[in-house]
Structure 1
Amino acid sequence: MSRRTAAVIVTYEPEAETLARLIQSLSAQVRTVFIVDNASSNFAHWQDILAPVDCRVIRMADNEGIAAALNRGLIAAEAEPGLEFCAIFDQDSAPSERMIEALEQHHDQLSRRGPVAQIGPYFFEHNRGIFLPFIEFRFGIPRRKRDPGNGTWTTADYLISSGSLLSLAALKKIGNMDESLFIDYVDIEWGLRAQAAGFQSYGAFDVRMEHRIGEEALDVAGFRLAVHKPLRRYYYYRNAVLLCRRPYISLAWKVSEMTRLGIKFVIFSTMSKRRREDFVMMTRGIRDGLRGKTGKYQH
């Protein structure tokens, strides 16, 4: 068990057995587990699983979004004396054994190269049945980095938040998660902001974690796209537009993201099972992003 790291799990209407497995795995790897619950209506059904392990629960009065919940957990971790890192998790992630220790070791080595913001595992995404690449822009072009077969680590511009090990010292200089985004692009924004401040993110090919993104996958011309609820489409498009208005975000990222989301707009407006709802929510997201609207969606 690491005495250097705390874990923060953000929950919202979690499935009890999946959450229990995550808590048990992390309680054997970190000093403290914080659960930040975003006002789940089913809290009474799963709170009993917390009894056998040492974890602390922070309950939000309302669903304030992933960024606000993460910040509550990060602030609690920063208040713990002697902690150096905080690992953050979604409620349905499945970390491998000794994952935290391996990420810490990578951080110790990589910190000799320069300031480290975070380091995260190589994701296997179940709905699409693939390992998700790490993303890094070079000469204005996004490189999708996959395990070459004997890889250990690689640089990245940002990471998927779940499973990432954040340096608390770096967090003090970079700042907390952007609560105005509510959900989606929170991890991308923080990674790009860290990069602009001179901190590097890393991905570890030799550290694995399993995860699910979205509800299912949509097959399009040999590609498998994650399918989310229409409300999530709203946040994707609104927050992408909001980030395009920010000066510390590179022009290359803005052009690449707008192109990618433009293609997805056509696909989900014409091929998804909820194409009408997707079209409406994506359109509203673009409109509200152009208006500079932030926070929780209000219809």
Structure 2
Amino acid sequence: MRVLAVAVTYNPDPDLLARVLGSVAPQVQGIAVVDNNSSNARSVRDAASAVRAHVLENEQNLGIAAAQNQGVALARDEGYSHILLLDQDTVLAAGVVADLSSHLAALEVEYDGVAAIGPAYYELNSERQTRAYQANGPLLSRRSLKGLDCPVESDFIIASASLVSLDTLDKIGSFKEDLFIDLVDVEWCLRARASGYQSFLSPTAAVEHRLGSTIARIGPRRVAVHVPIRNYYWVRNALWLSRQPYTPLAWRLYFISRALIFPLVYTTLTDHRLMRLRLICRGIWDSFTGHLGSLK
């Protein structure tokens, strides 16, 4: 297995990016940094240079899916067999890639179609470990991974720190670029699921990840709060995905219910409330008119 780590960057924190790249460098055979026209591109180049990473610099922000597809294309050209996708803020513990690689190899022997495997990451804002999600008719179950040591099937896994073979990508297809950002990984996993490919989480792979920049509290729950523009993309893409034939009923209901809750949460408990409301309304409109891609 020859793994290329593909890190996508957009105005990253330079020190954190250096930690991310430094944590993955000893674990893979190569690193590519795909930068979406960051304002601090020089800092990105410096961090990449420190670990001898290949840098692809886009002249505009093409979105995360397009950047990931660029990394995939580079991996193919350079003769890699697998890619490890990374966000700019995901720090890996030692041995994560070896853990994912060994589990993936075993799963491919046991199952006919394995889409990808990812870590049971610890989310820093909510202060909890991710769970496995599985649709069963109209119900969406959430399974805790605490105390487990074997991979668990999940309808989707987040892209960051996920390990995917290029052969599998050839069969399932590339990441959907006109979603731009938000739910790109969910869409790909659900599309893979409909084609008979399963995704898995490894409870023994330790990764720190941060969803959003701050949190909002709803009773005991902590909800990730992104910059306002992300409300537009999430609602638009969720409603679009809820209408796709390969999306299971439980996920359709989930996307629709969350999209309805968004205006309530993000216009009462966060900052820039009027801006968020306008962006959410625009996202709803663009979803039903079929306007995807970057918000102009």
- Same-fold status (TM-score > 0.5): yes
Q: Could you tell me how far apart the structure 2 residues matched to 1:74 and 1:186 are?
A: 15
Structure 2, unpaired ranges of 5+ = none
Contact 1:118 1:200 in 2 (8 A): yes
Q: Which residue is 1:285 aligned to?
A: 283
2:72 corresponds to 1:86: no
1:124-273 counterparts in 2 under 5 A? 124-273=122-271
By how many angstroms is 1:238 displaced? 0.6
Q: Which residue is 2:101 aligned to?
A: 104
Q: Could you tell me how far apart the structure 2 residues matched to 1:274 and 1:62 are?
A: 25
Contact 1:154 1:203 in 2 (8 A): yes
Letter in 2 for 1:219: R
Letter in 1 for 2:32: F
Q: Could you tell me how far apart the structure 2 residues matched to 1:52 and 1:227 are?
A: 32
Q: Which residue is 1:58 aligned to?
A: 56
Q: Secondary structure of the residue that 1:219 maps to in structure 2?
A: strand
Q: Secondary structure of the residue that 1:155 maps to in structure 2?
A: strand
Q: Could you tell me how far apart the structure 1 residues matched to 2:2 and 2:52 are?
A: 16
Picking from 22, 39, 54, the partner of 1:41 is 39
Q: Secondary structure of the residue that 2:157 maps to in structure 1?
A: coil
Q: Could you tell me how far apart the structure 1 residues matched to 2:137 and 2:42 are?
A: 52
Letter in 1 for 2:77: A
Q: Could you tell me how far apart the structure 1 residues matched to 2:93 and 2:10 are?
A: 23
Q: Could you tell me how far apart the structure 1 residues matched to 2:46 and 2:182 are?
A: 30
Q: Structure 1, residues 214-261: CA drift from partner, whole Å, max 9, x if none?
A: 011101111100011111000011111111232111222111221123
Letter in 2 for 1:242: W
Contact 2:45 2:55 in 1 (8 A): no
Contact 2:136 2:250 in 1 (8 A): no
Q: Which residue is 1:17 aligned to?
A: 15
Q: Structure 1, residues 111-155: CA drift from partner, whole Å, max 9, x if none?
A: 122211100001111111111212111233111121141342100
By how many angstroms is 1:267 displaced? 1.8
Q: Structure 1, residues 175-201: CA drift from partner, whole Å, max 9, x if none?
A: 110001000010000000011111110
Q: Which residue is 1:118 aligned to?
A: 116
Letter in 2 for 1:49: A
Query: Could you tell which deviates more after superposition, 134-143 or 46-55?
Result: 46-55
Q: Could you tell me how far apart the structure 2 residues matched to 1:150 and 1:63 are?
A: 39
| Same amino acid, percent of matched pairs | 36
Q: Could you tell me how far apart the structure 2 residues matched to 1:72 and 1:251 are?
A: 32
Structure 1, unpaired ranges of 5+ = none
Contact 1:122 1:205 in 2 (8 A): yes
Letter in 2 for 1:64: L
Q: CA RMSD in A?
A: 1.3
Q: Structure 1, residues 244-288: CA drift from partner, whole Å, max 9, x if none?
A: 232111222111221123223322222223222221111110011
Q: How many residues align?
A: 295
Q: Could you tell me how far apart the structure 2 residues matched to 1:256 and 1:93 are?
A: 26
Q: Could you tell me how far apart the structure 2 residues matched to 1:89 and 1:70 are?
A: 9
Q: Could you tell me how far apart the structure 2 residues matched to 1:58 and 1:32 are?
A: 14
Q: Secondary structure of the residue that 2:27 maps to in structure 1?
A: coil
By how many angstroms is 1:96 displaced? 1.1
Q: Secondary structure of the residue that 1:252 maps to in structure 2?
A: helix
Contact 1:265 1:279 in 2 (8 A): yes
By how many angstroms is 1:47 displaced? 2.0
Q: Structure 1, residues 50-100: CA drift from partner, whole Å, max 9, x if none?
A: 33322100111110100000000011012222x321000001111111111
Q: Secondary structure of the residue that 2:203 maps to in structure 1?
A: strand
Letter in 2 for 1:65: G
